[in-house]
Amino acid sequence: MKTMGLQHLYLINPRYFPDPQASAMAAGADDVLQNAVICNSIDEALRGVVFTVAMTARLRDISIAVKTPREAMPEVLQQAATQPVALLFGTEMSGLTNEEMGKAQLGVNIPSNPEFSSLNIAAAVQVMAYELAVASQQFAPVVAPEIVPATHERLEGLYAHLEKTLFEIGFFTTQNPARLMQRLRRLYSRTRLEDEEINILRGMLTVTTEYNARLKERYNQEHKDV
Amino acid sequence: MKTMGLQHLYLINPRYFPDPQASAMAAGADDVLQNAVICNSIDEALRGVVFTVAMTARLRDISIAVKTPREAMPEVLQQAATQPVALLFGTEMSGLTNEEMGKAQLGVNIPSNPEFSSLNIAAAVQVMAYELAVASQQFAPVVAPEIVPATHERLEGLYAHLEKTLFEIGFFTTQNPARLMQRLRRLYSRTRLEDEEINILRGMLTVTTEYNARLKERYNQEHKDV
């Protein structure tokens, strides 16, 4: 709940409360648990609420309309903008009864493997809270580290440098230069190179040429007489 | 994993395996745990994989691009259509190192409360598996129980019956009939009544009239002399 920005927990007839094990597992979110409101009935918990969404693992024999979390959350948010709303979850063992479901305006079912569809309550709450947080856009979506692609002329500079270097080190003797350069263009255009990456690549090319030049020079010195 | 249709679990240097506590918690999904592949390194676990998505709680100092689960999953599915893909999770305590993240093609961060952003690994896996299942549409989305709205003439039949009954039981004596009927039309049009619901409502009206007729009859019999 807390990771997804939810604070208000209502517990209806909890078997144990406070529960040392629950407190231990809450870790940094123990404030949510400490501030939980303990109720004797669903009606008491829903007092003042104008829109209740009930979790269900069943799709049949449900008295109310059932949607997926993704479909339901925009409606929940719209209602929540002005008045209290609630997400209602049943027990770990048996969920909500039909009578309890009838207290909600909308049912929500998490699409799942029909051969093993029983999400535990922690998992179901996580999915619901996550979908609510995503729908609310309250946590700024991740901004992917911006790729600032290099300009055309910088790219062409790289390709020219690359071709020249490959020529100098004698790579093209057994290869078709034009075809190979096409392959290399394809590779690098797919990555959308940034300026700094081009600097790195050209640095590598420069060092390669220098290394090659030194080799040549040494060779020439050792074979001065040739 | 199993509720969301995932089967292939790779564990890298698990502290205990098999672990009786894990087996107990797996409940009906113990087959996933039993079939888990134990590996000595991330490289071993990722052998043959062409697209790896790594979970991260951090947004900065990440060497690879980071997306939200919702943005990432279509790409994961596209790759998975032809070749093996992997979702890579770090340890509960410290996640993945930068070096480990570098083995992935894409990072994924679950948008969360900046003041309490540390989803535990079970919660993170649930969200990722859920987003993958939703993106794959492999589990037929919930079909909301279809409302088959009644026809215009059936609705008008109800309103006429309702008005007649309200008139008969003397409800209109202190009310403006036209205005009240407008309010009732507004109420019922909002619910989009089905045929059977109209039958039920009209049944109630009929019984009300009959009850009223019986009352009148009894009154008339008791006051024959009036």
Q: Sort strands A51-55 and A106-108 into parallel, antiparallel or unpaired.
A: parallel
Least CA distance to B106: which residue of chain A? Answer: A144
Contacts of A143 (CB under 8 A, 6+ apart): B59
Contacts of B72 (CB under 8 A, 6+ apart): B53, B106, B108, B131
Q: What angle do CA A200, A206, A207 make, to 5 degrees?
A: 90
Q: Do B139 and B133 contact (CB within 8 A), yes or no? A: yes
- Spatial separation of the C-alpha atoms in residues B171 and A8, rounded to whole Å: 44
Cα of A14 to nearest chain B Cα, Å: 21
Q: Which residues pair with A76 in a beta bridge?
A: none
Given CB atoms, is B117 within the 8 Å cutoff of chain A? yes
A196 to chain B: which residues are within 8 Å by CB? none
Q: What is the ipTM of this complex?
A: 0.73
pLDDT at residue B102, as a whole number: 86
- Spatial separation of the C-alpha atoms in residues B44 and A57, rounded to whole Å: 38
Share of chain A above pLDDT 90, in %: 51
Tens digits of per-residue pLDDT, A175-187? 788 888 888 888 8
Given CB atoms, is B143 within the 8 Å cutoff of chain A? yes
Q: Do A95 and A56 contact (CB within 8 A), yes or no? A: yes
- The amino acid at residue A38 is I
- Spatial separation of the C-alpha atoms in residues A80 and A138, rounded to whole Å: 14
Closest partner residue to B126 (CB to CB) among A117, A126, A142 is A126
How far CA B58 is from CA of A200, B62, B101, in Å, comes to 26, 7, 11
Q: Do B140 and B120 contact (CB within 8 A), yes or no? A: no
Q: Do A103 and A64 contact (CB within 8 A), yes or no? A: no
Structure token pair of residue B145: 């129980």
Q: Do B107 and B60 contact (CB within 8 A), yes or no? A: no
pLDDT at residue B225, as a whole number: 62
Q: Do A33 and B116 contact (CB within 8 A), yes or no? A: no
Tally of CA atoms within 13 A in the half-sphere of B22 that contains its CB: 13
The terminus-to-terminus CA distance of chain B in angstroms comes to 81
The terminus-to-terminus CA distance of chain A in angstroms comes to 81
Q: Is B44 left (phi over 0), alpha (psi -120 to 50) or beta?
A: alpha
Tens digits of per-residue pLDDT, A160-208? 999 998 888 888 877 788 888 888 888 888 888 889 889 999 988 888 8
Cα of A113 to nearest chain B Cα, Å: 5
- Spatial separation of the C-alpha atoms in residues A167 and A90, rounded to whole Å: 72
**Over chain A, what is the mean pLDDT?**
88
pLDDT at residue B141, as a whole number: 67
Query: Three-class SS of residue B67?
Result: strand
Cα of B28 to nearest chain A Cα, Å: 8
Contacts of B209 (CB under 8 A, 6+ apart): B165, B168, B169
pLDDT at residue A217, as a whole number: 83
A59 to chain B: which residues are within 8 Å by CB? 142-143
Whole-model pTM: value is 0.76
| Cα B59 to chain centroid, rounded | 29
Closest partner residue to B127 (CB to CB) among A59, A117, A126 is A126
Q: Flag residues of chain A having pLDDT under 50.
A: none
Please report which helix (H) or strand (E) contains residue B9, including its range.
none
Q: Do B113 and B175 contact (CB within 8 A), yes or no? A: no
B144 to chain A: which residues are within 8 Å by CB? 65-67
* List of domains in chain A: 10-136 (3.40.1280.10), 152-222 (1.10.8.590)
pLDDT at residue A178, as a whole number: 87
- The amino acid at residue B141 is P
Given CB atoms, is A106 within the 8 Å cutoff of chain B? no
Structure token pair of residue B147: 């409302």
pLDDT along chain B (226 residues), means of 10: 96 93 89 95 93 87 84 93 94 89 91 89 96 90 70 92 88 81 86 88 86 80 72
- A116, A197, A200: best to mutate for the B interface, most B CBs within 10 A: A116
Contact call for B144 and A110, based on CB within 8 A: no
pLDDT at residue A208, as a whole number: 80
Closest partner residue to B2 (CB to CB) among A113, A126, A142 is A113
Contact call for A110 and B123, based on CB within 8 A: no
Q: Do B103 and B88 contact (CB within 8 A), yes or no? A: yes
Given CB atoms, is B200 within the 8 Å cutoff of chain A? no
Structure token pair of residue B104: 């992935």
